[in-house]
């Protein structure tokens, strides 16, 4: 597979190089030089998930990882269920939260970990990443126990839910967690400083594992095919897919699936009040406002960094711009949508509810709707219990960590402290 830097056409790399580097020169995103158009869609849809996903990724990535390696990677990474559940006569949901950390980020995180561990070929790597919740847990679980890869996760002390924190700070071994006395932005600033410090970047072989890594997106292409495969055949023709969006990686993956030939009539980019993209789609003006906090906090992003990839899909003619429609949902309607879903017998959480709200209002006669369920409702237990007025139970993944102690080390938001801590942690491992 060949990829090109969207900010510098002379910067071309292989899949392995793009995975190892993350971002290209001038902070440019890597984009496939060519997206293959598949002809045998019906036959692919008849295959089981793991087998089909291997075939899809093989078409995208090619042979560069070596014979049989991709099969191994996909089998290890995608070892949990991806069910489609019917909500009402015309609307279905794809549940992406049955992985070890109960959010769709498990797909990308696990696939990336398996790819990177093979690409690094035993050379030591340090993953340094800042999290506001879901990414940290997915990355920590995905890399837990992988030899020669150490993970350092920074999170803002007291600012993520206690359950979110327990999911990754109790693992230990090669997973090191740091509770920073500051907010998410100060954690991100510390990560940036580390990447700008050659002594740390080169000595510790830093990699960020963040959501702009191409391997994470390619993994996500696979579950859009799975969604269509589980729909009754007569429901596949006029399909509208609604994606709860923050950084827009998930929607990018859906559009790549469509470019490859997956039959989706149109996509909905559903956001919370951080509505840069819906406003842009209506006015043509890119005008990010200050980020505001909402109950769908994983989508509190006002400068989505995957958007240039969506523009490239449109500019290169893979996607007709009229097949992407954007709409924002405020807090009140998000809560209303959660209650409507509960009335239909389905317990959901704020992110999926945003997608459901826009979908149920834009679906036309004869169309079938599908929204992505991006996280398990128990991950947002307090909000869900408050809005629905009833207790919800914890799945085993959360119940088993509730009583365990956090192993996180507390640090001030000081780069010198972080650097000393990392050098001490990793001194024998490079
Ligand atoms: C990360 C996340 C999103 C946003 O996904 P993007 O790919 O960044 O648009 C939506 N819902 C949940 C639960 C998330 O964790």
Reply yes or no on whether the pLDDT at 318 is more than 90: yes
Mean local confidence (pLDDT), 406-427: 95
250 lines ligand 1 (CB under 6 A): yes
Q: What is the mean pLDDT of residues 174-185?
A: 92
Distance 246 CA to ligand 1 centre (A): 6
The domains of the chain are located at: 82-101+214-388
Q: How far apart are the first and last CA of the chain?
A: 30
pTM: 0.94
Provide the CB-side half-sphere exposure for 163 (13 A, CA).
Answer: 18
In this predicted structure, which of 10-14, 135-139, 157-161, 367-371 has the lowest mean pLDDT?
A: 157-161
Residue 100 half-sphere exposure toward CB, CA atoms < 13 A: 24
What backbone torsions phi and psi does residue 134 show, to the nearest 5 degrees?
A: -75, -40
DSSP codes, 350-396: HHHHHHHHHHHHHPPTT-EEEEEE-B-GGGGHHHHHHHHSS--PPPH
pLDDT at 430: 63
CA angle 129, 130, 132 (to 5 degrees): 140
296 CA distance to ligand 1 middle (Å)? 9
> Nearest to residue 301, comparing CAs of 251, 254, 360?
251
Longest dimension (CA), the chain: 64
Alpha-carbon span 12 to 1, nearest angstrom:
10
For the CA of 301, the nearest atom of ligand 1: 8
pLDDT of 162 higher than 90? no
> Given the CA of residue 134, which atom of ligand 1 is nearest to it?
15
Q: How far is the CA of 203 from the centre of ligand 1 (A)?
A: 32
How much of the chain exceeds pLDDT 90, in percent?
81
Q: What is the pLDDT of residues 118-133, one digit of tens each?
A: 998 888 999 999 887 7
C-alpha 290 – ligand 1 centre gap (Å): 19
* Ligand 1 centroid distance, CA of 245 (Å): 6
Say what the pLDDT of residue 159 is.
Answer: 79
What's the gap in Å between 308 CA and the centre of ligand 1? 17
Q: What is the pLDDT of residue 361?
A: 96
Looking at residue 2, the DSSP 8-state letter turns out to be E
Angstrom distance (rounded) from CA 236 to CA 261: 13
Q: Which of 136, 374, 377, 379 to mutate to test the pocket of ligand 1 (most atoms within 8 A of CB)?
A: 374
Question: Which pLDDT value is given to residue 161?
Answer: 79
Tell me which of 104, 130, 306 to substitute to probe ligand 1's pocket, judged by most ligand atoms within 8 Å of the beta carbon: 104
**Who's near 219: CB < 8 A, 6+ residues apart?**
57, 77, 78, 107, 108, 110, 111, 112, 253
Residue 349, classed as helix, strand or coil, is coil
245 lines ligand 1 (CB under 6 A): yes
Pairing of strands 266-271, 239-244: parallel
Ligand 1: atom nearest CA of 249 is 7
Does 157 contact ligand 1 (Cβ within 6 A)? Answer: no
Tell me the CA–centroid distance for residue 66 and ligand 1, in Å.
32
Which residues are CB-contacts of 33 (< 8 A; sequence separation ≥ 6)?
Answer: 2, 3, 4, 12
**Rg, the chain, Cα only:** 21
Distance 273 CA to ligand 1 centre (A): 14
163 lines ligand 1 (CB under 6 A): no
Tell me the DSSP string of 120-145.
Answer: TTT--EEEEEE-SSHHHHHHHHHHTT
CA distance 190 to 175: 18
Does residue 170 line the site of ligand 1, with CB under 6 A?
Answer: no
**What backbone torsions phi and psi does residue 185 show, to the nearest 5 degrees?**
-60, -40
Separation in Å, CA 67 to CA 71, 122, 419:
9, 19, 40
Q: What is the pLDDT of residue 305?
A: 85
Q: Is 41 exposed, middle or buried (0-12, 13-18, 19+ CB in 10 A)?
A: middle
For ligand 1, atom 1, name the residue with the nearest CA. Answer: 298
**45: number of Cβ within 10 Å:** 18
Average pLDDT over residues 211-222: 94
The CATH architecture of the domain made up of 82-101+214-388 is 3-Layer(aba) Sandwich (3.40)
């Amino acid at each position: 597979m060949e990829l090109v830097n969207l900010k510098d056409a002379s910067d071309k790399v292989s899949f392995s190089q793009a995975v190892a580097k993350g971002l290209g020169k001038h902070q440019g995103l890597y984009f496939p030089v060519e997206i293959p158009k598949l002809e045998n869609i019906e036959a692919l849809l008849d295959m089981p998930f793991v087998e089909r996903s291997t075939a899809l990724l093989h078409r995208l990535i090619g042979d560069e990882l070596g014979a049989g390696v991709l099969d191994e990677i996909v089998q290890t990474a995608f070892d949990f269920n991806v069910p489609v559940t019917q909500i009402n006569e015309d609307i279905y949901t794809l549940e992406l939260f049955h992985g070890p950390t109960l959010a769709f980020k498990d797909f990308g995180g696990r696939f990336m970990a398996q790819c990177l561990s093979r690409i690094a070929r035993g050379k030591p790597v340090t993953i340094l990443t800042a999290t506001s919740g879901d990414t940290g847990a997915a990355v920590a679980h995905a890399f837990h126990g992988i030899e020669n890869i150490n993970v350092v996760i920074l999170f803002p002390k007291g600012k993520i839910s206690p359950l979110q924190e327990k999911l990754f700070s109790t693992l230990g071994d090669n997973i090191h967690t740091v509770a920073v006395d500051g907010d998410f932005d100060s954690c991100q600033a510390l990560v940036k400083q580390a990447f700008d410090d050659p002594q740390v970047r080169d000595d510790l072989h830093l990699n960020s594992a963040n959501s702009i890594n191409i391997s994470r997106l390619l993994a996500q292409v696979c579950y859009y095919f799975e969604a269509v495969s589980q729909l009754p055949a007569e429901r596949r023709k006029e399909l509208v897919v609604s994606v709860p969006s923050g950084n827009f990686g998930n929607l990018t993956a859906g559009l790549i699936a469509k470019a490859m030939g997956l039959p989706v009539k149109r996509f909905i980019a559903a956001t919370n009040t951080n509505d840069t993209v819906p406003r842009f789609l209506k006015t043509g003006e890119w005008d990010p406002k200050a980020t505001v906090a909402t109950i769908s906090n994983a989508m509190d992003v006002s400068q989505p960094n995957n958007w240039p990839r969506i523009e490239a899909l449109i500019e290169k003619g893979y996607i007709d711009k009229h097949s992407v429609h954007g709409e924002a949902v405020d807090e009140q309607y998000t809560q209303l949508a959660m209650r409507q879903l509960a009335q239909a017998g389905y317990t959901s959480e704020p992110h999926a509810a945003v997608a459901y709200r826009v979908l149920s209002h834009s679906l036309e006669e004869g169309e079938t709707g599908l929204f992505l369920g991006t996280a398990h409702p128990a991950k947002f237990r307090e909000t869900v219990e408050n809005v629905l007025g009833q207790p919800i139970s914890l799945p085993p993944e959360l119940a088993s960590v509730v009583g365990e102690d956090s192993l996180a080390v507390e640090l001030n938001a000081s780069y010198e402290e972080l650097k000393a801590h990392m050098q001490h942690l990793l001194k024998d491992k490079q």
